[in-house]
Amino acid sequence: MNDDVRHARDAALTAVAATATLDQLRAVEIDVLGKRGALAGLKAKLGSLPVDDRKVIGQAINEALGAVQDASDARRASLGDEAMQSRIAGERLDLTEVTARRRRGHPHLSTQAWERLEDVFIGLGFQVAEGPEVETDFYNFEALNMPPSHPARSGFDTLFTDYDDEGTVLLRTHTSPVQIRVMQTLAPPIYMVMPGKVFRRDTPDATHMPVFHQIEGLVVDRNITMAHLAGTIDAFTKAFFGTGFNSRLRPNYFPFTEPSAEFDIQRPNGGWIELGGCGMVHPNVLRAGGLDPEEWSGFAFGFGIDRMARERHGVDDLRDMFSNDMRFIEQF
């Protein structure tokens, strides 16, 4: 009889271990632990046994039933876990979409020059500001000491919008209007560079584009002189191009600075490159910015960013830089 109990227990344990799903386990449990199961059958026969045997065999049957129940509970836990895992796997949503082989890109060469210029000026103690690309006549011309009919206006091939009164809203022709916005917003001392896109009604050719990039500089503080301007330009030249480069100022005219100059840099081989304009901020411009020219003085400069990139990489035709031809762009 004891052998029968062991036999029935082992068969039940094997059946439980062989289940692969919770449904199968439920069926096996009814089979081996239920009233029609082998162990229940043995229990029913206990009454016909002698008292001593009845005790021993009864205990063995109870232990067998306990062991099968424990094994069954453990199996239920592990099947439940598996069921959860496979449900998670089955319901997983892959939200990534790979439409093509991914390639690592890099900033455009004008952007690279823009960022390097910012880095160098931040290193010299400047901050960076940006202004709107669509400007009013006031900021682009008038506040910069170019009243209506001022001859210097004709030097800018302006693109006007048809917004508001005719001829009052335009795509900015230079980054200089940001000088006024900075002066109106921040109290001096001001040490600011202002990079951005500018627009002119130019026909594209090897050296002109109707859209290009400039960086403007503005310093306003007490007792600023032309020497600070020359020193800053030279420090910038050496920091950006290298210590083998020199700079010079040449007299020139701009309405928004007085005196005004053009600044050039000299390559180590001796050749000069014209870079941009600069000068001492005109008192009228300080006034338009809300500052008292008796108290504050400053200098300003502005030059083309694309030209710097072109110079640095030896690009022959400016148009190549903006035609989005990957064969060209990928080279830099």
For ligand DAH, the binding residues (CB under 6 A) are 174, 176, 216, 254, 257, 276-279, 300-302
Whichever of 42 and 309 has its CB closer to ligand DAH, that residue is: 309
Whichever of 37 and 188 has its CB closer to ligand DAH, that residue is: 188
Q: Are strands 134-136 and 169-171 parallel, antiparallel or unpaired?
A: antiparallel
CB 300 within 8 A of CB 276: no
250 DSSP assignment: E
Residue with tokens 């026909």: 203
Whichever of 28 and 280 has its CB closer to ligand DAH, that residue is: 280
- The minimum distance between CB 246 and ligand DAH, in angstroms, equals 20
Whichever of 289 and 302 has its CB closer to ligand DAH, that residue is: 302
CB 300 within 8 A of CB 217: yes
* Distance between CA atoms of residues 154 and 224, nearest Å: 31
Q: Which amino acid is at 202?
A: D
- The minimum distance between CB 306 and ligand DAH, in angstroms, equals 13
Q: Which amino acid is at 306?
A: D
Whichever of 29 and 262 has its CB closer to ligand DAH, that residue is: 262
Whichever of 65 and 300 has its CB closer to ligand DAH, that residue is: 300
* Distance between CA atoms of residues 185 and 187, nearest Å: 7
157 DSSP assignment: -
- The minimum distance between CB 291 and ligand DAH, in angstroms, equals 16
Whether cis (ω within 30° of 0) applies to the bond prior to 259 is yes
Residue with tokens 């068969």: 11
Whichever of 285 and 321 has its CB closer to ligand DAH, that residue is: 285
Whichever of 19 and 173 has its CB closer to ligand DAH, that residue is: 173
- The minimum distance between CB 124 and ligand DAH, in angstroms, equals 16
* Contacts of 135 by beta carbon, 8 Å cutoff, 6+ apart: 169, 170, 171, 172, 177
Angle at 228 between CA 251 and CA 305, to 5 degrees: 65
Whichever of 39 and 192 has its CB closer to ligand DAH, that residue is: 192
- The minimum distance between CB 299 and ligand DAH, in angstroms, equals 7
- The minimum distance between CB 283 and ligand DAH, in angstroms, equals 14
Distance of CA 109 to the CA centre of its chain: 17
Residue 173 to residues 38, 170, 178, 185, 219, Cα–Cα distance (Å): 97, 8, 11, 21, 21
- The minimum distance between CB 260 and ligand DAH, in angstroms, equals 6
Q: What are phi and psi of 120, to 5 degrees?
A: -65, -45
- The minimum distance between CB 328 and ligand DAH, in angstroms, equals 26
- The minimum distance between CB 278 and ligand DAH, in angstroms, equals 5
Sheet strand arrangement including 297-304 = 127-128, 190-199, 211-221, 297-304, 272-281, 257-266, 246-254
